[in-house]
Amino acid sequence: MTGLDLTVVEIVLRSAAVLAAFLVLPLLVGQMEHKVMGHMQGRLGPMYAGGFHGWAQLVADGVKFIQKEDLTPAAADRRLFRIAPALALVPYLVAMAVVPVHPGWVAADVPASALFVLVASGVSILGMLVAGWASANKYSLIGGMRSAAQLLAYELPLVLAVASVCLAAGTLSLTGIIDAWSPVWLLWQLPAALVFLVAAVAELNRPPFDMPIADAEIVMGPFTEYGGLRFAFFLLAEYAGIVLFSVLFAVLFLGGWRGPAPAWTGWLWTLLKALPVAFLIIWMRVAWPRLREDQLQRLAWLGLVPVALGQLALTAVVVVAL
């Protein structure tokens, strides 16, 4: 299926489906984080909003965010300041459009979708950079610089890990990767999977890699000056990123929709495989302390990059030898 023979109605429907997933799944992950984090800390988490175990807490939060005043600092670069949340949020929406969840279910089946996803998620980090620069705030600037350093350090192992999978599958298309996947990959590509997971968490600026927004030292990093809906967009971008990278992990390393069940349950398998990954990302946040900036760089350059390069070499040798 090429992207050229779609009717307008089809395009609209597909876009609407992606948008719906984009608006619902991050909320589910956010709610899961509330509850999982609560119980891991011996609390209950939200219990009142919506009546049953606080299921509507994030809806209530959204309503609250909408009511808040939209502030722009006087010294800020107004246009950049206002556009930064969109710059952080929209790339994830775009990236989600090319991730296949079911045989034939992909909003835009582009040939090099693996590359496309990486590029789009890389653009999202620029949102934090722009926010850090445009806020005219020292904490925002420090956070933005840390974010840039982190982007440089962790984009490389991320790309190398995906490159290993693409090399193994012989294609840059995510759909093609799923078709080429076999259970042996679980072992063969395990180092790449670990590197991808760590780099993805770092990409999302989530603990233990939340140095750019470390609230105990630089307030909230690039988000310091933001409030209301624009701040909510940054939060939504974070959770949309969790969804994207969890699904991407399932697609790249766990075989996506493939599972021992009738073909129509494909999308269910994708979600079922992505869910533990999202849970793991939340779990890391609860259990682990924040890495210092030098530890963060050390881990990337002395740990992840060599492992990813080794994996790439291993994959290449195996592909050529067989």
Partner 1 sequence: MTEPRKESRNPFSAARGLLSGMRTTARTMTRPAHTQQYPDERPSLPPRSRGVIALREENCTSCMLCARECPDWCIYIDSHKETIPAGPEGGRDRQRNVLDRFAIDFSLCMYCGICIEVCPFDALFWSPQFEYAEVDIRDLLHEKDRLGEWMATVPPPPALDERSADPAEVAAANRPARTAREPRAAREPGTVREPRAPRPPAAPEADG
Which of 12, 13, 23, 41 is the binder for partner 1 (CB under 8 A)? 41
Quote the least distance from Cβ 18 to partner 1, whole Å: 33
Segment contacting partner 1 (CB under 8 A): 31-39, 118-126, 180-188, 209-217?
31-39
Q: Do residues 197 and 277 touch, judged by C-beta distance below 8 A?
A: yes
Should residue 44 be labelled a site residue for partner 1 when binding is judged by CB under 8 A? yes
Q: Do residues 128 and 88 touch, judged by C-beta distance below 8 A?
A: yes
Q: Do residues 59 and 49 touch, judged by C-beta distance below 8 A?
A: yes
Distance, in Å, from the CA atom of 151 to the CA atom of 157, rounded to the nearest integer, reads 11
Cβ atoms within 10 Å, residue 291? 19
Residue 125 vs 308, nearer CB to partner 1: 308
Should residue 149 be labelled a site residue for partner 1 when binding is judged by CB under 8 A? no
Residue 155 vs 210, nearer CB to partner 1: 210
Residue 26 vs 208, nearer CB to partner 1: 208
How far, CA to CA in Å, does 49 sit from each of 27, 46, 229, 231, 239?
Answer: 14, 7, 20, 21, 20
Quote the least distance from Cβ 208 to partner 1, whole Å: 9
Quote the least distance from Cβ 264 to partner 1, whole Å: 33
Q: Which of 108, 198, 204 is nearest to 160 (CA)?
A: 198
Task: Say whether 316 sits in a helix, a strand or coil.
Answer: helix
Which of 13, 43, 78, 215 is the binder for partner 1 (CB under 8 A)? 43
Q: Which of 217, 18, 218 is nearest to 120 (CA)?
A: 18
Which of 12, 78, 183, 288 is the binder for partner 1 (CB under 8 A)? 288
Residue 182 vs 295, nearer CB to partner 1: 295
Should residue 310 be labelled a site residue for partner 1 when binding is judged by CB under 8 A? no
Applying CB under 8 A, the residues found at the interface with partner 1 are: 36, 38-44, 47, 283-284, 286-288, 295
